[in-house]
Every structure is written in C-alpha cells, then in structure tokens.
Chain A
Amino acid sequence: MARVLINFPQRAKRGDIIEIKTLIQHPMETGYRLDNKGAAIPRDIINCFTCTYNGEEVFRAELFPAISANPFIAFSTVATQSGELVFSWSADRSQTQTETRQITVE
C-alpha cells in the first residue's frame, strides 16, 4: 500500500467551496525509459483518480505519463452535507488504492 496524503478542512459550513489536496506515492513509470540492458521499462502509471462524496462522484481525472511521480492533485468541491469522501487511485499494474475520510458540515 502506497503512502497517501489527503488534506481538506475537516469542518465546513454548508455551501462552502472547499479545496481538497491529494498526493500518493507512486513512481509513474512512463514506459519510455530503458533499463541498463536497453530493454524498455514497462509502463506503470496511475491512470485514473476519482473522488466520491457520499457515493456521488464529484471529481474524476484521467492521467497520462506526463504527470509527475507521486501525483499531486488538488481540486475543489462544495460542502453539502456531513459524510464521507472516498478517494481511489487505479494503476496499470499495482492494485487500486482507496482511502476514506470524514467531513463534518454545519
């Protein structure tokens, strides 16, 4: 399991636009590099990132090899109600990683 950093305000007023910052540890191997024997290193990138808010998808990103290693993604969403935010990263080779965080909306 890769290390993940997720940062957003834990408490928010209803209707506030909150910024969510995410970062996951991943090499984002482009598939264009060669190893020391001259063989191509196979591509292994996180190709999709999604965020759902109480089950509803609020953000989705398709990523390509041009995204840096340890992909950082920041986006915004409207705090509508208390509940859970589920973040998931799916990669070419490694397992899909899912993280859940709670948010309190007043």
Chain B
Amino acid sequence: MLHLITLIAFVICSPYPLPAQETEKAGSAFGIEITPGFHGTDVKDYKGKIGEYEFLKDGIRPDLGINIYGTTKGSFFRLQGLYYEDEDFAVSADIDVQRILREEFSYFRMPHFLEHDPIKNLAACWCSATGVPVPAVTEYEDLDPRGEYYIKYSRLESKTTYRLPFLPGSQIYVDYRKEFRKGHRQAISLSKCSSCHAVSRDRTIDEYTEDISPGFKAKFGNAESGWITLTYNYLKRHFGETGNDPIATYDQALAPGGASVGKPVFSNRVQYDNINLPYSVAPSSEKDSHVIKAHGQLNKVATDVFASYVNTSAENMHTDNEYDLNSFIGRITNTLLPGLTVAGTFRWMEIDNDNVPVTVNEPVALAGPQVGQTYSQVYPDFDPVYNRLSALSRKVYETEFTAKYRLSKKMSLNGKFEWRSTDRDYYQVESGETTTNEYMGNIGLYYRHSGFYGRLAYTHDSTSDPFANPRAACNPSGINPTPGNTFTGIQYFQLYDMRRLTLTNLPDNKDEVTASVTWSISPSISLSGYYRYINESNDFDWDQESHMPSVSLFFSPSPKFNWTLSYLYNYQKTDSLICMSVFDG
C-alpha cells in the first residue's frame, strides 16, 4: 500500500509530456525529475499474507524515481524508472516520432509470496474403542519446514506501432511480451499402501511465457457516411519450465498388518513401487492463434456491425496432447428508432481436443493368495486399459438480444435475453445426455432526476442439465456396504461403481435481484446504497442464498476537504450433499 503511495506521489508530481498536437503549438520542452527518498518497514509475525505482493523487509533502505521527458515539434519521449527494492522496481520508455512510429517499452519486477502448508492436518488415525489413536494411518513429513516460498515475477513488454501516413486510422504493429517466474514453491507428494505418506519438498520454479504478436489494422471510409476497420492479429506463445522437478521415493508396497505383514501381497495393485520418480512436473506448451476482426458503422441506417473469427491451436509438448478452437462472433446494433437501441449477438465455438489412450503397468502379485496373477486376472470385471474421452471437446452456440428504450427523460427500460447451448462430444452430464441449455432473461429499470439516480434489475437463469458429475455419490437412502476381506471382499473399483448420484454446485434455477440508489443531497454530500440478492438451486439437493447490502456516504465540507465512508455486508449460505471418501472409498 505504501509502495502505491510512493508511486502515486511520483506520478502526480510528474508533468506528463504534452500530446503531439499540443506540442506543435507549445514548441520544444525538456525536463528531468528525480525523486530520491527512504522507506522503512517494521514487520511482526508472518509477512507473506499482509505483504503477499510486496517486499516487506525490516530496516530502512533508499528508493529512487527518475522521470526524463522531452517534446519537440510533432514528437515526444518519456523515460521513467522507479527503484524500490532489488525485487521490486520498474522502468519504462514511450517514444513517438511524428505520430508515425511509436515504441512503448516496459519492464518491471515484483515478488509474490506463497503459502507454506505444514500438512499437519493430514495426521489421520484409527482409534481404539476408548478413542486412543492406534496407529497413525497417514504419516506426514515436511522436509523443508523453514522454507519460505515465493515467486520473483518480472515482465518485459514492447509495443512497436507504425501508423500508415497514406491511410489514416491504419497501422501495422509488433507486440512482444515475456514473463519470467523464478523462485520456490511447496510440492507435496502422496504415496499409499504400506506407507500412507504425505511428503512436502521445495520445488524450484524457473518458468517463462513468451508472446510474439504481429498484426495490422486498416480503416476505410469517413465519419459522415460510415467507416469499416479490418484487423488481423497473430499470436505465437511458448511456455517453458526449466526448474528441476522434485523426486519422490515410493516405498515397496508391503502389507501393513495382519498375517501377511511385510510381504508384497499387494504388488499387483500398484503401478510402481520401490522407485524414485519426479513429480509436480510442469509441461512446456505452445499456442498459435489467428484473430480476424471487422467493425463498421453505417451512419445512414444508424447501424453498427462487428464480426470476429478466432482460430487457435495449443499443444502440450510433454504429452503431445492438442486442442483446436474455432470461434465466430457477429453483433449488430441499431439506433434508428428514436429512444430505442437494439442489439443482437450470435456466437459459435467449436473445441476439438485429443482423446488419450490410457495404458497401465499390470504387475503380478509376488506373494499372498493372488501370487502370480495380475489384478485384472483376479477381477475380470476391471479393465485397466481405456480411452480417456475428452470432456473439453464441444460445440457452443450462443445468441443474445438486448434492447434499451427511453420511456421518458427521467426513465429508461433495459431488457436482455440470452440462450447458450453447450453440446459436448463425449462427456455426459446426465445418463445419455451431453447437452446443456441455458436461458437467461434480464429486465432493468433506470431512473434519474435532479440528483437522484436509481436502478432496479431482475435476472432469471434457467439451465437444463448443468455441468455435473453423474456418478459423484452413493444414494443416501441406498445400501451402504462394508468392504470386507481385502482379497475376497468388495474392491475399490466396485465401491466407485456404486456411486450413482449426481452432484454439482451449478444451479438449474437462479434468481437475482439488484437495486442501487445514489442521492446527491447537495454538491458536497451524496449517499449511495446497493443491495444484491441471489437464490439458486438445482435438482441434486444443492441450494445457495446470498445477501449483499452496502452503503456509502461522501462528504466534502469544503473544496479542500472530502471524505468517504462505506460499509459492505456479505452473507452466503450453501446447502449441499457431500460424499465422504474415507480410506476405503
């Protein structure tokens, strides 16, 4: 916050360069501003929450701001720098040559402190009849208990624009941006069976995201009869992570108790054991995107037309998994009838994502009653090899109609209707159903008269088959079996198959009412109030209700003094079924 004060003071005190057209009148100017100073901090207890994005360090240290600017006939430049800490500073340059060539460059660095979970809450246990823990079922171990996790974030950005002198309003440009994220974060691994074990380690972060984005914009026509702009933009993005992946040790899967204690009777139930493997791996990825836009105004018929087409493909360089996206948006707005504004929007989007054939290791049991057999040989109903069908692949159609009518000088009425259909290629939100249809209607009344402004709006959403997991929970009124013997009793996959109840936290009915008023009692006093009520529910025993009122008072007793007092209250209550998967699923 204080850092912000420094920045605001720096900007307020900086005479911003004159726009080029003003410079032509004013002639040349040049100036340098320096803002040396000191800042001090005294921190008590944990600093990562109060200063999540600030470098809070005890002591007094110098800071410095520099602002160099110059203007001449038709051109200007401005160079700025603000140093606060080694990990918190910014530099920028803005150069415009004859309003034809412009270069905007910036680089800044800032910290982001991350949480360190001591993972002590994972100390689950069985208890004796008297409530005494015997023994611990889940072990936890933080191998970096004093670790401080943070990211040093920095971003370099350049925008180079060449305005075509022979075609006013037209330009070609190249944008470049590169983000760096370096530091450390917590990485937790889990292993099960003989050692139900959560282990926390330090994970080095060394990531970058690089964007190169050339494009052009051409404008034809004039302000009187109408105009049209055509825009094309290409984006090439590459994400890479070069930090070392942490290594987890997965112990040999041995029976933890009973007559087979210490023997590998479960070795046909695990994918790997007795091995060191990397985890928390961040795969590299690439993305290509083409965007074409057309925007025009037909003044004779008071109509604005906009259309956009997007083609994007992205690939996970670690798994070669790809998705392709194609999208079209068309919008038309008309204001021909006095007092009435109508608009219609149509959107189509298609996403095609690769399916993933899943193959697994099928080791045999090395001891016990299933020795020499794989898991699927013992339980033929379980097929471990399958084709993971993408839940992302889909076609989306969306239409929206809006209208605004001015009832009188003081009052206007707004209305909106929206329909969206999401048809997934594979993922079923209910048995045999892959499509979600959403309908939304909104009506709002606006009133403005002599210092009083009011707005009242009602929105209703109705959704058929919202996104859901149709096999998320067991039926609360159904049979609850107990697992029985490890080898002859009910298996995990059979317990999961018994889940037949759909759960989702998305509503199929939602009502929302919002109201706001602002009363300017006098030029120096104004009172504002806002209230929002939402009631939403679905057919799966989930409902949610919230109230959010707020009030704000502005008072300016003199031109030299003003203050604002505001209060906001938020209440939200959610009722939902949950499925507790405790140890045995």
Q: Real complex partners, A and B?
A: no
B residues whose Cβ falls under 8 Å from a Cβ of A: none
A residues whose Cβ falls under 8 Å from a Cβ of B: none
